[in-house]
Chain A
Amino acid sequence: MTASDRGTASGMSESTASAMVGASGVATPAGVAPDRFFKYWLIVPAIFLLLLVGLFPLIYSLVVSFQSLTMLEMDYSFAGFTNYIALFKDARLWESLLHTVIITAIALPIELVVGLLMAQLFLERLPGRQIFVSLLVLPTIISPIVAGATWRLLFDNRYGPINQIVGWFAGEPMPLLWTISPYLVYPAILLCEIWQWTPFMFLILLAALSNVDKSLTEAAEIDGAGYWRTFFKIVLPSIWPVMAIAILIRGLDLARIFDIIYALTAGGPGTMTETASIYAYVQGFQQFETSYTAAMAFLIIALLTALVTWAIRRMGLAK
């Protein structure tokens, strides 16, 4: 996505004032110098803050990761790659990555498909659609930690409505331990996550579907295409750019998932639901392994950057 060409104002040319009849045909009076730096002044504060948050952590993590710091011992000596080697040998780390991948791989397709179905449902005119959509948006706008807390209440083994409903079907009280039992924790987390973020997909896909050129689907209808053929060959290619961005945003957020897990299981039982972010948190703020965490932070950044670059290229989003 590039800024539109017509967005170039006359201030861009850096030649002398007399020759300065820029793209817009407007001659700027003597006073080129202030103009010339204007555009830079505009971006300086923002860029500064972004560097603080973007570049600094990267460099700092890198530096610290080559040392042997913990919160207790400040050993600033160069430790070489010990931390990184330890990372590769760390089974718990690989497990956490696996957990992250599992959650992403299950939740993302479900959110996408359900979101698409919901969008299709609401695509045609429906009286009161606005009300439905406003209500359906609720899960997405609340804080993820609140979402996690809500489902924690829902899943309570004795007083939660979920077990009550399950009990109706089973015919007897079922005090399921959703947040503790190894068999139930993943369904619990996935349920909460999907509940919160499917509306996100739904909204975006609904808007995208609404923007599809009607004359294309009409032409397909006249040409004799049935519902599915029209959908896969005409509609889907049309909304793909938007869908790709939604998948990217959602996929990235899933890879970084933290709040919901913290609220529901805190990574438990044991480390069964520990995702990469949770594990990093544990190492940094419970184990206080500073340098090790820095190495992990660096690794996570590197992985995600590679993933995002690959995804962007693969999806053909020429940004």
Chain B
Amino acid sequence: MADLKITNLHKHYGGVQAVRGIDLEVASGEFTVLVGPSGCGKSTLLRTIAGLETPDGGTLEIAGRVVNYVRPRDRDIAMVFQNYALYPYMNVFENIAFGLRARKTPQAEVETRVRRAADMLGITPLLDRLPRQLSGGQRQRVAIGRAIVRNARLFLFDEPLSNLDAQLRDEMRSEIKRLHQELGTTMIYVTHDQIEAMTLADRIVLLREGKIEQAGTPLDLYERPATRFVAGFLGSPQMNFIPARLAQSGGGWAVKVGDGTSLALPARQREGLADGRAVVLGLRPQHVTRANGGNRPGHQRLTATVELVQPTGSRAYITFPLGGVPTVAELESHDVQRPGEHIDLDLDMNRAVLIDPESNRVI
């Protein structure tokens, strides 16, 4: 039995259809990430699951029980808020214990459970401090502690790391992953950050304008995106999109980009191939590298002029025109180029995706 099952959920929010007909099943113990740009409905969806909003249509089932109109506190869920929502006038211990006290848990049990949660998160020395005396990362841990102490069936995270600086975010991301491994609870996590989505999720659900654009394992979405939106959303830097046309060439197919350059496509089952058909070529920067060694099957070579160089320390990204479109390639960090110089590049066409410009679906 799935821990969470959503059928055809609808919710409008402030005059806008925030969630339009979503179907989702989350298996027990799974870490599901709801990700998407702002306004895609992910927070609304999460709050509806939590019971802070009532759905306008569809059904919401937790552990097989329909909970559309059930109060949040009776849904056996725990939630970590974006701004932590720590009770400012109680110390850390009382904050974590709050839920237990509300359910009249005996003091001895409260003690053990709170301390165990605190240990797990490394915040035991902070137990008698007030929230305002804690740093952002510490507050985040307390918020998580408050959630895990209740042994709820479902954990909900509403963009918990958005308010932290980059370094802390990395740290906490690992913490959360580790937590999931230890506890094995079903977790639903909302974020707009695709890196968090990729690293934490067992399953990613990418939302756009209230609908599910694609759902699957991170690698599924990364390597086999269903639409241009998915292809462009995951992966940093973003995938290159170059308008082109299909052309028959030497027994196989190739794409011709704007300036006439032809790139042969490796043989693969594709639908609707027609000579002259307009497509968009999608190629990730990681798959456009410096040419060295022999030509490998499925790869294409070309020489390009460097326009822009952006070193990041671990890699260097150069921008060059391909068919008139600025395209990003990924090079080794010591592979220093200067704008205006020529460079030989290797394009891994095995990993290219073709996108229909009308429907934006991947062919």
Q: Does A14 contact B (CB under 8 A)?
A: no
Question: Are A222 and B78 in contact, with the CB atoms below 8 A?
Answer: yes
Contacts of A219 in B (CB 8 A): 79, 81, 85, 87, 146
Count of A-B contacts judged by CB separation below 8 Å? 61
Q: Which of B60-113 contact A (CB under 8 A)?
A: 71-73, 77-79, 81-83, 85, 87-90, 98-99, 102-103
Question: Are B81 and A224 in contact, with the CB atoms below 8 A?
Answer: no
Q: Does A172 contact B (CB under 8 A)?
A: no
Partner of A215, one of B77, B83, B90, B146: B83
Closest Cβ–Cβ distance, residue B213 to chain A (whole Å): 28
Question: Are A222 and B102 in contact, with the CB atoms below 8 A?
Answer: no
Partner of B50, one of A222, A226, A229, A238: A222
Provide the bound-state CA to CA distance between A249 and B330, in Å. 68
Provide the bound-state CA to CA distance between A234 and B101, in Å. 14
Q: Does B150 contact A (CB under 8 A)?
A: yes
Q: Mark A55-89, 1 if CB is under 8 A from B, else 0.
A: 00000000000000000000000000000000000
Question: Are A222 and B83 in contact, with the CB atoms below 8 A?
Answer: no
Closest Cβ–Cβ distance, residue B47 to chain A (whole Å): 8
Q: Mark B259-291, 1 if CB is under 8 A from A, else 0.
A: 000000000000000000000000000000000
Partner of B72, one of A213, A215, A221: A221
Provide the bound-state CA to CA distance between A300 and B75, in Å. 59
Q: Does A233 contact B (CB under 8 A)?
A: yes
Closest Cβ–Cβ distance, residue A72 to chain B (whole Å): 60
Q: Does A220 contact B (CB under 8 A)?
A: yes
Question: Are A220 and B98 in contact, with the CB atoms below 8 A?
Answer: yes
Q: Which of A232-255 contact B (CB under 8 A)?
A: 233-234, 237-238
Provide the bound-state CA to CA distance between A218 and B72, in Å. 9
Partner of A221, one of B73, B90, B146, B150: B73
- Please report the total number of B residues contacting A with Cβ < 8 Å: 23
Question: Are A218 and B103 in contact, with the CB atoms below 8 A?
Answer: no
Contacts of A224 in B (CB 8 A): 73, 99, 102-103, 150
Provide the bound-state CA to CA distance between A218 and B146, in Å. 14
Partner of B81, one of A218, A225, A226, A234: A218
Q: Does B195 contact A (CB under 8 A)?
A: no
Contacts of A213 in B (CB 8 A): 85
Question: Are A222 and B87 in contact, with the CB atoms below 8 A?
Answer: no
Q: Does B52 contact A (CB under 8 A)?
A: yes
Contacts of A233 in B (CB 8 A): 87, 89-90, 98
- A residues lining the B interface (CB < 8 Å): 213, 215-216, 218-226, 229, 233-234, 237-238
- B residues lining the A interface (CB < 8 Å): 50-52, 71-73, 77-79, 81-83, 85, 87-90, 98-99, 102-103, 146, 150
A-B contact pairs, 11 of them (CB 8 A): A218-B52, A218-B79, A221-B52, A222-B51, A222-B72, A222-B79, A223-B102, A224-B103, A224-B150, A233-B87, A233-B90
Extra inter-chain contacts (15) besides given A215-B85, A237-B88, CB under 8 Å:
A215-B81, A218-B85, A220-B98, A221-B52, A221-B73, A222-B50, A222-B72, A222-B73, A222-B77, A223-B78, A224-B73, A225-B73, A233-B87, A233-B89, A234-B87
